[in-house]
Copies of this chain bind each other. A is one copy, B any other.
């Protein structure tokens, strides 16, 4: 047997396992609750607990990897929308998307804090990258006149986080309507 080829197969397998563990972990920890454990992740991913620990030596590292992947994906989506023809639509659509999938992201963020935090770690850096991308989307939307000029990233991000927290609750209909209120508030206001 070709040793190099077999090594490559093992690396590909390991990579596939890693991705599968992250997918399952995102679902399990996103759901939250008592049964959200590394053991449950291993069971649903169909791998041994040792395999999970080989990739992610601690629960905090596993949660961190899940969060980093989510933040990176959102950032990439935001960056892809920077070239959109209608910057206002791009900004509001992206805001809505982030809030819509926030429920799980927030559960995972809080699980990470419980598991020993990520102060100044990978997830923090990934979150900062996402924040910068949102800032770029906001700036383009403001230049296009679709978002009022007198708001800046800190308050827009505060609203994004606040509505994401609200979305993690139960009242989806209220959340959608709350989003409408905030979007109207973000649009250029009348001659007042």
**Chain B residues whose C-beta falls within 8 Å of the C-beta of A174 in the assembled complex:** 154-155, 157-158
Contact A158/B171 with A151-B177, A177-B152, A190-B190 known, Cβ cut-off 8 Å? yes
Contact A166/B158 with A185-B183, A185-B185 known, Cβ cut-off 8 Å? yes
**Chain B residues whose C-beta falls within 8 Å of the C-beta of A161 in the assembled complex:** 166, 169
Main secondary structure of the interface of A (DSSP, over half): helix
For the A-B complex with A155-B181, A165-B165, A183-B185 known, give 18 more contacts whose Cβ atoms are closer than 8 Å: A154-B171, A155-B174, A155-B177, A157-B174, A158-B175, A158-B177, A159-B178, A159-B181, A159-B182, A161-B166, A162-B165, A162-B178, A181-B185, A181-B186, A182-B182, A184-B185, A185-B186, A190-B190
- Residue among A181, A189, A190 facing the most chain B CB atoms (10 A cut-off): A181
Q: Is A173 an interface residue (CB 8 A)?
A: yes
- Please report the total number of A residues contacting B with Cβ < 8 Å: 28
Q: Is A163 an interface residue (CB 8 A)?
A: yes
**Chain B residues whose C-beta falls within 8 Å of the C-beta of A178 in the assembled complex:** 155, 158-159, 162
- State A157–B175 Cα separation when bound (angstroms): 10
- Residue among A154, A155, A173 facing the most chain B CB atoms (10 A cut-off): A155
6 contacts between A and B (CB under 8 A): A159-B166, A159-B178, A161-B169, A162-B178, A182-B185, A185-B185
- Are B162 and A177 in contact (CB-based, < 8 A)? no
**Chain B residues whose C-beta falls within 8 Å of the C-beta of A166 in the assembled complex:** 158-159, 161-162, 165
Which of B154, B163, B171, B182 is in CB contact (< 8 Å) with A177? B154
Which of B152, B171, B175, B181 is in CB contact (< 8 Å) with A182? B181
- Which of chain B's residues has its CB closest to A182's CB? B185
- Shortest Cβ gap from A183 to chain B (Å): 7
